[in-house]
Structure 1
Amino acid sequence: MNPSGDVMKDSSVNLTCSIDANPAAKYTWYKENQLLLSGEPQLVFTSVQSSDSGEYYCTAENELGKTTSEHVSLNVKYGPQTSTLSVSPTGEIVEGSSVNLSCSSDANPAANYTWYKENLKLLQGPEGVHHFSSISSEDRGNYYCKSENKHGQINSASLFLDVQYAPKLLSVSV
């Protein structure tokens, strides 16, 4: 494999099958046991994508026999492509209920998440869930998350968390 090891999304990658055979061998390429291409000793990716990650191998065959190469792993690395924020349960959120904000992202390696309320940082870590065991009216506001790995970062859209609550007696005056 050239380049060897992990590769960045959109880079160029060549997988080469080198076999010594007489008469010349016919090459066949496989990705995780699925037939890809037949005939060429090279498998060329001009712009490798995340869907190209996986295990590859080739076979070479002539009228005297067939051999199979070792497997090579292609691991395509990329920064977060999307960052999606959702709330559960959906619908009306009532004070005192349990609520989860979930942030998900497509990234390799997996993203770390930073949570924000009204642009103030709340917490950071590998978990994509911010849990309110008993949500209060003070938790009402705009939330978003940032998904980040060493290859990039992206913010989710903002989500307004509206917490419903019963009337509270603030003061009585005469």
Structure 2
Amino acid sequence: MKTNIGITEKNRDAVAVELAKLLADEFVLYTKTRNAHWNVTGDNFHANHIFFEAQYKQLDEVIDSVAERMRKIGHFAPATVKTYLELTHLTEYSERTNDGLGYMADLLRDHESIIEFLRGNIVPFAEKYKDYGTSDFITGLMETHEEMAWMIRSYFR
């Protein structure tokens, strides 16, 4: 059945393209955070292991919400690793150490990249594409990533 939510098909298509990129970024960040959880080493292993677990669980919820937002505006969400790697703005792997700070520096860069991507789409989604719901949605996601980045950044002196 056709999606009739007061946003033109052309505008919904444009928003969906950007949400697909966001979904890819979120999936790659989730995977990298899982990697940190599994492979972190060092003096603060246990605390870092628990910290990364909390973060990947939060990202799992974010991924689901982005995919569901795509469905709400009438599009299917991409769902293959190959597609995510084609769409993502992030780097799948970065050279770093396996200690907590090595992972955190890498993950912090990714959160900040997502924050910039989200911030750059808030106004266009609302004003250019007349999708105020998705604009509001990504504003909330931006705030989530800002908090997650703050938590990571707090490990650095």
Whichever structure has more strand as a proportion of its residues is 1
RCO comparison, higher one (Cα < 8 Å, 6+): 2
Q: TM-score, normalised by structure 1?
A: 0.25
Larger Rg: 1
Whichever structure has more helix as a proportion of its residues is 2
